[in-house]
A = this chain, B = another copy of it.
Amino acid sequence: MRPSGRAPDQMRELRFEPGFTKHAEGSCLVSFGDTRVLVTASLEERVPPFLRGKGQGWVTAEYGMLPRATHTRGSREAAKGKQSGRTQEIQRLIGRSLRAVVDLQKLGERQITVDCDVIQADGGTRTASISGAWVALRLAVDTLKLDVDPIMTQVAAVSCGIHGGQAVLDLDYVEDSSAGSDGNFVLTSDGNIVEAQVSAEGATFDDESLLRLLRLARIGCGEIFEGQRRAVGR
């Protein structure tokens, strides 16, 4: 039995609130249960220096957590003067995941910066971020009214792990902090894998576990893809 009473392959309640803020070209407040992330996509008609004159665009991401998004207050990274290794790892993952489904040539010489700021954390902030980021990105690209669509497929992410010997989907904080091993899967809506990453946390795992987690991820992402489509009105 999971602490939350959910079935092993049951996601938490998903919610996408598109257009949560008014200034950003695309925005979305995404909730995976009590995990809530505000995502904005900012569009600029210029590219970073390393891409100038190459006829292609760029998509990048930044991630942050409000100090009291967590059970006990964490220190503010701006006040400490640097981003933690965890923060950098997550924002690199988000950027990679989005670029995997965007044709940068078709985007043209533009940069889209996706900011994922965790308002409330209860496990799975990086997967919620990626899933919400696609919605914000989609909305921002829609404002361009381009002839060819630079977004190739949807992308979504979900965490899975071995908790109490059982493979479970979409871990919340309680499960996450006591899982033997857990991972994050980033999948595309046409059935491919963008990123699969599973780590032992106290207990190593075998090939079968890896496959079982991947199967759960496919179930979860299917549900997320549907939510994303409803959120962007497609």
Contact = CB atoms under 8 A, between A and B. Distances in A.
A22 interface: yes
A87 B78 contact: yes
A106 B164 CA distance: 24
Contact of A89 (B76, B85, B205): B85
Interface string A28-43: 0000001000101010
B78 A82 contact: yes
Interface stretch (A8-16, A49-57, A195-203, A224-232): A195-203
Interface in A182-197: 183, 188, 191-197
A108 interface: no
A1 interface: no
A196 B194 contact: no
A194 B188 contact: no
A62 interface: yes
B193 A96 contact: no
What bracket does the count of chain A residues touching chain B fall in? 35 or more
* Best-buried of A68, A87, A188, A193 by chain B (most CB within 10 Å): A68
A210 interface: yes
Interface in A12-27: 21-24, 27
B119 A69 contact: no
A149 interface: no
A64 B76 contact: yes
Given A78-B83, A85-B91, A192-B204, 5 more contacts: A40-B67, A78-B78, A192-B200, A193-B206, A210-B210
Interface of A: 21-24, 27, 34, 38, 40, 42, 44, 62, 64, 66-73, 76-79, 81-89, 91-92, 96, 100, 113, 115, 117, 119-121, 183, 188, 191-200, 204-207, 209-211, 214
